[in-house]
């Protein structure tokens, strides 16, 4: 397999952190969406997605992140991203994702700003 | 590097994740030409999006994408060719794929690949016909202050 990817979940009382690693494409994106839906169904409306170990994000991966933003918007929740590369952050801002989700340099600040 | 060495050819099948083979090759060539880490990532993302567009829209019987990398001192160019059916103007501008606007009309979920490529690269040119499509992309190195 060319693309080795992984998802780690860290649940706290008020929020949960999803950390992805590898290439965020349709395959990893679908797994990420599934995990996010499980957390949302379980009552979490404050999520952080840590992309520090995520090497590349393609447009299909971005579309799945937008679906998670929408799912949280419906529940008046909040999504913050952290660990983005400069190129990823520029792409997120260009695609208006930054309008609906926070972007922070590290997990600590992303959690603090939920 | 001799003139002969300035061109690198790669053919990849239209299988899931094969765009990573193109991205890896682009990464090696860009690093060789002295692009910085951020520029290399931009080139990788642009070639991934160009390959995915070909995979999704070309309807090529050949099921392959042909990539030509051209290396010059201050720039890296790649040309991605598929021998598919060509692409329509509404696919080119992304409107065919927009679909349901969802909760946030300014946050469409599909049809953003070309927008990403154009935002990251210096030149993007698309030649399309019923015999196939070639997307030519140029990334120039940032000028460094002495």
Assess if residue A100 is contained within a domain: yes
pLDDT digits (tens, 9 = 90+) for B33-73: 999 999 999 999 999 999 999 998 888 899 999 999 999 88
Give CA–CA dist B43/B76, Å, rounded: 9
| Number of structural domains in chain A | 1
pLDDT digits (tens, 9 = 90+) for A40-52: 999 999 999 999 9
Q: Are B11 and B65 in contact (CB under 8 A)?
A: yes
Domain that holds residue A13: 6-112
In sequence order, which residues have a C-beta less than 8 Å from that of residue A68 and are 6 or more positions away? A32, A33, A36, A47, A49, A79
Assess if residue A69 is contained within a domain: yes
Set of chain A residues whose Cβ sits within 8 Å of the Cβ of B120 = 87, 91
Give CA–CA dist A51/B35, Å, rounded: 23
Q: What is the pLDDT of residue A107?
A: 98
Assess if residue A26 is contained within a domain: yes
Could you give the 3-state DSSP secondary structure of residue A95?
Answer: coil
Rounded-to-10 torsion of CA A53, A59, A61, A66 = 110
Q: Is B20 on the interface with A (CB under 8 A)?
A: yes
pLDDT digits (tens, 9 = 90+) for B97-145: 445 556 666 666 667 889 999 999 999 999 999 999 999 999 999 876 6
Tell whether the model's pLDDT for residue A7 goes beyond 60: yes
Give CA–CA dist A44/A52, Å, rounded: 22
Contact A25 B17 (CB under 8 A): yes
Assess if residue A1 is contained within a domain: no
Give CA–CA dist A18/A10, Å, rounded: 6
Q: Is A7 on the interface with B (CB under 8 A)?
A: no
Contact B103 A70 (CB under 8 A): yes
CATH of domain B4-140: 3.30.565.10
Assess if residue A61 is contained within a domain: yes
Give CA–CA dist A78/A50, Å, rounded: 14
Q: CATH code at A86?
A: 3.30.750.24
């Amino acid at each position: 397999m060319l693309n080795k990817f992984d998802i780690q979940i860290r649940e706290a009382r008020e929020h949960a952190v999803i950390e992805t690693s590898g290439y965020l494409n349709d395959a990893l994106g679908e797994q990420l969406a599934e995990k996010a839906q499980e957390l949302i169904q379980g009552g979490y409306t404050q999520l952080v997605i840590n992309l520090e170990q995520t090497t590349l994000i393609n447009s299909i991966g971005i579309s799945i992140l937008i679906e998670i933003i929408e799912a949280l918007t419906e529940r008046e929740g909040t999504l913050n991203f952290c660990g983005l590369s400069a190129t990823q952050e520029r792409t997120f801002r260009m695609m208006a994702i930054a309008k609906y989700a926070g972007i922070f340099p590290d997990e600590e600040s992303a959690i603090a700003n939920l | 590097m001799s003139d002969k060495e300035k061109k690198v050819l790669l053919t990849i099948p239209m299988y899931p994740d094969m765009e990573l083979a193109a991205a890896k090759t682009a990464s090696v060539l860009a690093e060789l030409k002295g692009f910085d880490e951020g520029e290399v990532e931009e080139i990788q993302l642009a070639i991934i999006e160009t390959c995915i567009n070909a995979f999704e829209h070309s309807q090529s019987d050949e099921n392959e994408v042909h990539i030509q990398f051209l290396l010059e001192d201050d720039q890296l160019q790649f040309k991605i060719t598929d021998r598919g059916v060509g692409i329509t103007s509404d696919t080119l501008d992304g409107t065919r794929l927009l679909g349901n606007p969802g909760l946030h009309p300014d946050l469409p979920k599909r049809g953003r690949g070309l927008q990403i490529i154009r935002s990251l690269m210096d030149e993007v040119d698309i030649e399309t016909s019923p015999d196939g499509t070639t997307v030519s992309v140029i990334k120039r190195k940032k000028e460094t202050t002495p």
